[in-house]
Amino acid sequence: MELKQLRCFVAVAETLHFGRAAEKLHMAQPALSAQIKALEMEIGARLFFRTTRKVSLSTTGLLFLDEARETLERAEKALYRARMAEADNIGWLRIGAVDTATAGLLPGVIRDFRRLAPDVDLRVSELLTAPALEAIASHHLDLAFVRRASSDNFVGSRLLFQEPLMAVVPSGNKLARKRAISREDLASMPLVLPPRIARPIYVDMLRDWFREGGFVPNTLHEANERHTILAIVAAGLGVSILPSWVSQFRHRDVTFRPISGDPLLVSVHLARRRSYSSAAADMFEEIVDRHVPSYPFKTAD
């Protein structure tokens, strides 16, 4: 029995879909099916019931799932500890992240990391992109989740996912009755946005987007904190444009709607010094890569 077979089994068991499991594992579906078949032959029992429309776990598969998960977790812990022993240190990891990452992707990643590497001194800070990239370059951070790719030759970065922006309007406004809100609709309303000095990448992106459509944004109110922006919108003083994750903050006087036309996306990149070698950072990145495919927003290609 191979660990690869167990990973394939767990992926199918968690998705109950061979196609989605194959995508999650970055492998072809026939190869995934072959791994499952080989595992079933070795065990001597069916793990799944499969029809053209549905995949379900057999009783044996259900009992085997917990054991498979535990085996994979023990293997990952063993690999991590071997790497740390080779490096002759317990290790630490300092991470900076923009709010989209801290609110959505990171909680699950950190839970898995703490379970596999409880001895690592893990520190997480919410930072904007520019100071986070500076902290990576100056060795004050080890990894950073940022809005744009690094332009520093000594700092590498890669795109993880892109999250759509949504229109935020007062629930009593006529725009709240629309299924999707256009750029022209938003340009006709007072906008509530962060000050540019606080979030330059985000504000410049929105201004460029309006200008591409031939509109000049009418920013009447400035607020940096998301809760404050929602409160101003709820009071009927304007509308806003915010990342999708903010919609988890339910407010009875605020309505979130998709923006019509081409999607307006904000990116999240993972940055790391090219010369930085760390078993803890390697493991953290591996866990990130496992979580990104199932992240609810648009993932990077």
Domain chopping of the chain, boundaries = 3-86, 87-161+266-294, 163-262
- Euclidean distance between CA atoms 291 and 170, whole angstroms: 34
pTM of the model: 0.68
Beta strands in the chain (DSSP E): 48-50, 55-57, 92-97, 121-126, 143-146, 155-170, 191-193, 219-222, 240-243, 254-258, 265-273
pLDDT at 196: 87
Q: Residue 88: which pLDDT band, with cuts at 50, 70 and 90?
A: very low
Q: Among 120, 122, 123, which Cα is nearest to 91's? A: 120
Segment 96-112 mean pLDDT: 89
Q: Work out the average pLDDT over 235-251.
A: 88
Q: For the segment 252-272, what is each residue's pLDDT rounded down to a tens digit? A: 899 999 999 887 888 999 999
Q: Does domain 163-262 have CATH number 3.40.50.720?
A: no
CATH entry 1.10.10.10 includes domain 3-86: yes
What are the tens digits of pLDDT across the range 144-188?
999 999 998 999 999 999 989 999 999 999 999 999 999 999 999
Range 264-282 average pLDDT:
91
Superfamily of domain 87-161+266-294: Periplasmic binding protein-like II (3.40.190.10)
Both tokens assigned to 180: 């999707």
- Quickly state the pLDDT bin for 143 (edges 50, 70, 90): very high
Token pair 């009875």 is at which residue? Answer: 252
Q: Check residues 35 and 301 and name the one with the higher pLDDT.
A: 35
What are the residues facing 54 on neighbouring strands?
A: none
Would 3-86 and 87-161+266-294 be classified into the same CATH topology?
no
